[in-house]
Structure 1
Amino acid sequence: MGFDPATLKYNDQGLIPAIAQDAESGDVLMMAWMNARAVAQTLETGRVTYWSRSRQAFWIKGETSGHVQELVDFRVDCDRDCLLVTVRQTGPACHTNRRSCFYTAVRDGAEVELMAPMQD
């Protein structure tokens, strides 16, 4: 039995959230959106592909930055409305040049920056 991206539960815009996790460290790197075509392309190519809502275009992670996400595992949650892609991340995952987009914690009511931008 094959996997059909159409069986996923997309929102009203035809999108589904995808969480990227580092396959080696287990760190959560980022969250972005996929549509059915991005899901299919990710599975076909092994290069994680998202849908950019701001540009209204496909976005193959690392295509311009070199910060590639190579697909290791593709998982669907129990409600079929969220994805988890485990990846081999080259360089930073965040557009701020940080390893993860989740670099700000709220502790004792204050924001704390947990990591600095990566150096080239």
Structure 2
Amino acid sequence: MSEPFASPASAREQEEGETFRPRFDAAGLVTAVVTDHETGRPMMVAHMNAEALDLTLETGIAHYWSRSRGCLWKKGETSGALQSVRDIHVDCDQDAVWLSVVSAKPEDTCHTGRKSCFYRRLDSDSRKLVAAHS
């Protein structure tokens, strides 16, 4: 692995500077929003620790930290739905990243077998979940 990430700096440097300084939370994680590179549609939200983020940068394949299993997770390692990272954006204070990816199996992003983990929408009138349009 490469060198550890730079420590967070002043707010101005963190928000306006050119140095990538991911701001990990108390659990050592940053939120990762993942979208389809071609369509821009949301696919999933996950979390990355420093090791997952570093492996993603080194390999170009998305790696995450599974909070439920407490382990590193290479997306698609068992399902074949590997995510090739095309772009990474960081939010203003660098506590979240946005990965634009191409999936080897775009029809199988979610563990439920769907293209996206966002397969339901909230009907605000009934406050019930209904099928989202693909």
Give the TM interval when normalised to the shorter protein. Answer: 0.7 to 0.9
| Contact 1:48–1:70 (8 Å) recurs in 2 | yes
Give the alignment of 1:41-52 within 5 angstroms.
41-52=55-66
Give the alignment of 1:66-81 within 5 angstroms.
66-81=80-95
- Report the TM-score when normalising by structure 2: 0.79
Q: Which residue of 2 aligns with 1:53?
A: 67
Deviation string 1:53-104 (CA, Å, 9 cap, x unpaired) is 1221110000001011001011111111110000001222110001000111
Q: Which residue of 2 aligns with 1:111?
A: 129
Identify unmatched segments of 5+ residues in structure 2. Answer: 7-20
Whichever of the two has the greater Rg, that structure is 2
- For 1:52 and 1:60, the matched residues in 2 are separated by 10
Aligned length: 114
> Which of 39, 45, 50 lines up with 1:31 in the alignment?
45
- For 2:4 and 2:27, the matched residues in 1 are separated by 19
Q: Percent identity?
A: 43
| Contact 1:5–1:39 (8 Å) recurs in 2 | no
- Which amino acid is 2:82 matched to? V
Identify unmatched segments of 5+ residues in structure 1. Answer: none
Q: Which residue of 2 aligns with 1:10?
A: 24
- For 2:62 and 2:110, the matched residues in 1 are separated by 14
Q: Which residue of 1 aligns with 2:113?
A: 97
* 2:33 aligned counterpart, secondary structure: strand
- Cα displacement (A) at 1:111: 1.3
* 2:45 aligned counterpart, secondary structure: strand
- When residues 28 and 62 of structure 1 are mapped into structure 2, their CA distance, relative to the original with a 3 A threshold, is same
Q: Which residue of 1 aligns with 2:77?
A: 63
- Report the TM-score when normalising by structure 1: 0.88
